[in-house]
Structure 1
Amino acid sequence: MGTYTSLYVNDFDLAISKSAVIPEIMTVFVESDRRSLWRRTSDCEVVDGPSGDDDIERAVEYVTTGEKAIQRLDVMGFTLERCRREYDEIRNEAIQGLRDAVAEDGLASDGSDNFYAKEIEKYERLTFDEYAAAFKSVLERKLQWYDLTSEQRATLHATTSYILSDQHDDWHNFGFMCRDIRSFLRMALSVSAPDAILRQDVSGLVSAGWVRAEDPIRDDAVRLLVERYPENAPRIVLTEGSSDAEILKISLAVLFPHLVGYYTFFDFHGSKAAGGATQLISVVKAFAAAGVANRVIAVLDNDTAAHEARRALRDVLLPENIAIVHYPPRDWLREYPTLGPSGDVSLDVNSKAASIELYLGRDVLTVGGNLCPVQWAGYSQAMRAYQGEVVDKPGVIERWRAKANRCLEERTSIVPAYWADIRAVWEQIMAAFPA
């Protein structure tokens, strides 16, 4: 006899599993989402602690917001576009299979008394949008098949009836057509309330002795998946050097703390690897040749040297799990102060001198009321452009580190305008793989 554990969206029982958590579901949580508390078994009301009452139990749960869960799913590749595409593929395969059966058996594909005709009609009606709209109603009304009387079931809309009547196959309770439960979860969260709470209750597993309350249940479950599926392993971020990696790592903790652990960074210090755009391109080639299964994102500066180095990949067919991005162009960098043979002049430094320092915020780039200028250096014949570099890079980075530390210690000190550019960098990284 097993013990069941449930995943909830708010108070709606979305998925159940027996004697263990569903590993794919646990990839949406991190260990810091876990909470342990005492509650009444009769009404789940939280209480201060055990009191000798048999109605009190120790609850162990993983809890996050719907918004964070959606971002984590998107990072893993389970975007809403992917869910729709996967759903449509399976639905169309089902329709084609039914039509093939009709042709093979020599039956008519129409007629009210024809099983195949009814099934084809059902699947043709079950578009993604039709399903999503009906499931939203199921969530809002908190409908479950076993709670309804036969009279209530008879009055349900056809799609709602289809959703609720599929109760036989664990997480496939709701008949959503997908190949991974995370696609179903992503769809469900897309139609949930904006303030939805996602909660994986593992209390039953703890009380039954399947796991201990102190076990890293999430990490143990995910570890079982990592060897098989790249979606479950952290995305590897490659940068031109250790400073870029450090800045991206810290800024992730500031801007998207719930995504820490979903990205890992190449260790330049530990590997004693050389930096620079040319070296980064070599690393990309090495990863491609080695058949690394993780999703890999190589992040290049938005400058002349990086664009020139990338030309070495023109004839290289990279696998789908490796993406190349540059720091994004920014409007305010179109007129940035520069120093060169023609004197002090404001120029567009996008694609020519936009290293990561220019994305750290105007506050740390400003000294004595003036922006630290870009100094033009060597000329690239291949790109027909000069390469530039911001003056006093160490000073800019040190001022940024101090700002970042303040923000990590006290999140109310985060000024969105001063983090807009590095946020744009992270949005570029997050969008590296098409849906």
Structure 2
Amino acid sequence: MSAHSFLEIGQRLMLGSREGYVPDIAALFIEDELEHNDERFGYVSTAGELRDRLQLHGYTAARALRELDAAVAAWHGQHPNPGADTMGVPVRGSADLLAELREYVNGTDEWVHFQLPDDVEWELDPRTHLRLVLDLVEARFPVRYNLDDLQSYELLTPGTPITEQAREARRHVIATDAPLVILTEGSSDSLLLGDAIRVTHPHLVGMLHLMDFAAGAEGSAAALARLVHSFVGAGIANRVLALADNDTAAHDALAKLKREGLPDGYRVLHYPDLPLLRRYPTLGPQLADSVLMDVNGKAGSLEMYLGRELLTVDGELVPVQWTGYIEGQKGYQGAISAVHKKRIQREFRRKVRSALEDPSVQETQDWSGVQAIVGAILGAFE
């Protein structure tokens, strides 16, 4: 008898390994997902959470399909007869294989078996293979890395943090697998986003790294542009995402950086437009009453994304004040007052604490802005 590890996706077994486990697969789980007793040992997550983690590492749906097409083309090239291989098995195309895989992984007949042709599977990175499968099932599908045999045969000792060890090993390889580094305009944005992700996307904690600024570090879009230049100049191998406010000043400060172009592993992104900000109260120098305006791209600091309830005082949204005109953008910069910014940051920390202490509280809170930002991060390298 020999020991095996494999993934259980729904009711199907895939990506088996003999006498060990695949570190690249283990790295997609976290130690909090470990479930074990005397007979069972493995990590349990969901298809949706693993998809997000693969996405962060650059294993997008489009990339998986490209690599499948390349593997299939190489397979076809090995067989002069386009209709069948040397064993008489039909040589199918990518679409045929995906259709068969979809039917198999979503089926319930325990006697049905399917796997990609050996010549195709051997050409695919296990993470590419996994991404193809995960894109064919619902996000709620359970996924378990079954390591029962490894425990039974004492090839793996409970308490060994194999997921953390696997991620640490990956940090020393090519940039595609390095953690995504997110640079913000300053220390407060980095800390607040980090706290927010713990609530809305806990399965991504440890999979991305927000820049750990020193307390009170310079906070501006111009400083962010200089930081990106320093990363490029230092030859930082990680994929780097510069994440800035969605306001006039930030668009102006980063315009030159965008025009210059950056290495392939770098992206410049602003917080996404929000429906809440399409008709938002604003104050100008000429009128005493507020005017509803679309402030997306003009006044979208992070505080505007931390929840409608935090922007509301006495039943009214705190207004954006228009300030200086920025010639490069042909528009005015807008912002809520510094007093309200500090209040929102303070109240947001309390909001995070209450959500972490009692997850049911999240249903009464507005996290749509944070969800939009994380969605933009996940799609930055698509």
Fold match by TM threshold 0.5: yes
1:11 CA drift (Å): 3.9
Query: Is 1:6 matched with 2:3?
Result: no
Distance in 2 (CA, whole Å) between partners of 1:407 and 1:133 is 41
1:417 CA drift (Å): 6.8
**Alpha carbons 2:46, 2:139 under 8 Å: kept:** no
2:279 pairs with one of 331, 335, 345: 335
Write the deviation string for residues 88-120 of structure 1: whole angstroms up to 9, x where unpaired.
12222443465xxx6xxxxxxxxxxxx566349
Q: How is 1:66-215 mapped onto 2 (pairs within 5 angstroms)?
A: 66-96=47-77, 98=79, 115=81, 118-119=84-85, 126-139=92-105, 140=107, 141-143=109-111, 163=115, 166=118, 175-176=120-121, 178-192=123-137, 195-215=140-160
Question: Residues 404 and 314 from structure 1, CA distance in 2 versus in 1: closer, same or farther, beyond 3 angstroms?
Answer: closer
Structure 1 letter corresponding to 2:141: A
Q: Tell me, which stretches of 5 or more residues in structure 2 are unaligned?
A: none
Write the deviation string for residues 293-313 of structure 1: whole angstroms up to 9, x where unpaired.
211111010111101111221
Structure 1 letter corresponding to 2:367: W
Runs of 4+ in 1 over 6 A off after TM superposition: none
Secondary structure at the counterpart of residue 212 of structure 1: coil
1:422 CA drift (Å): 1.7
* Matched residues, number: 376
2:221 pairs with one of 267, 270, 277: 277
Structure 1 letter corresponding to 2:100: A
Write the deviation string for residues 311-364 of structure 1: whole angstroms up to 9, x where unpaired.
221442311111111011123312221222122322221111110111112111
Distance in 1 (CA, whole Å) between partners of 2:301 and 2:222 is 15
Distance in 1 (CA, whole Å) between partners of 2:43 and 2:365 is 33
Question: Residues 74 and 63 from structure 1, CA distance in 2 versus in 1: closer, same or farther, beyond 3 angstroms?
Answer: same
Question: Where does residue 368 of structure 2 map in the other structure?
Answer: 420
Q: Give % identity.
A: 33
Structure 2 letter corresponding to 1:27: A
Question: Where does residue 377 of structure 2 map in the other structure?
Answer: 429
Structure 2 letter corresponding to 1:275: G
TM-score scaled by structure 2?
0.90
Question: Residues 369 and 4 from structure 1, CA distance in 2 versus in 1: closer, same or farther, beyond 3 angstroms?
Answer: same
Structure 2 letter corresponding to 1:223: E
Query: Is 1:256 matched with 2:201?
Result: yes
Distance in 2 (CA, whole Å) between partners of 1:68 and 1:256 is 9
Question: Residues 320 and 124 from structure 1, CA distance in 2 versus in 1: closer, same or farther, beyond 3 angstroms?
Answer: farther
Distance in 1 (CA, whole Å) between partners of 2:303 and 2:185 is 13
Distance in 1 (CA, whole Å) between partners of 2:332 and 2:226 is 23
For the aligned residues, what is the CA RMSD? 2.6
1:213 CA drift (Å): 0.7
Structure 2 letter corresponding to 1:326: H
Question: Residues 315 and 337 from structure 1, CA distance in 2 versus in 1: closer, same or farther, beyond 3 angstroms?
Answer: closer
Larger CA Rg, structure 1 vs 2: 1
**Alpha carbons 1:65, 1:197 under 8 Å: kept:** yes
Write the deviation string for residues 361-418 of structure 1: whole angstroms up to 9, x where unpaired.
2111011111111122222122121111112210122222222211111111113771
Query: Is 1:380 matched with 2:326?
Result: yes
TM-score scaled by structure 1?
0.79
Distance in 1 (CA, whole Å) between partners of 2:210 and 2:91 is 46
Distance in 1 (CA, whole Å) between partners of 2:292 and 2:103 is 56
Distance in 1 (CA, whole Å) between partners of 2:231 and 2:335 is 29
Structure 2 letter corresponding to 1:133: A
Distance in 1 (CA, whole Å) between partners of 2:270 and 2:117 is 49
Q: Tell me, which stretches of 5 or more residues in structure 1 are unaligned?
A: 39-56, 103-114, 146-159, 167-171
**Alpha carbons 1:233, 1:262 under 8 Å: kept:** no
**Alpha carbons 2:252, 2:328 under 8 Å: kept:** yes
Structure 2 letter corresponding to 1:180: D
**Alpha carbons 2:84, 2:90 under 8 Å: kept:** no
Question: Residues 378 and 185 from structure 1, CA distance in 2 versus in 1: closer, same or farther, beyond 3 angstroms?
Answer: same
2:236 pairs with one of 285, 292, 309: 292
Distance in 2 (CA, whole Å) between partners of 1:303 and 1:90 is 45
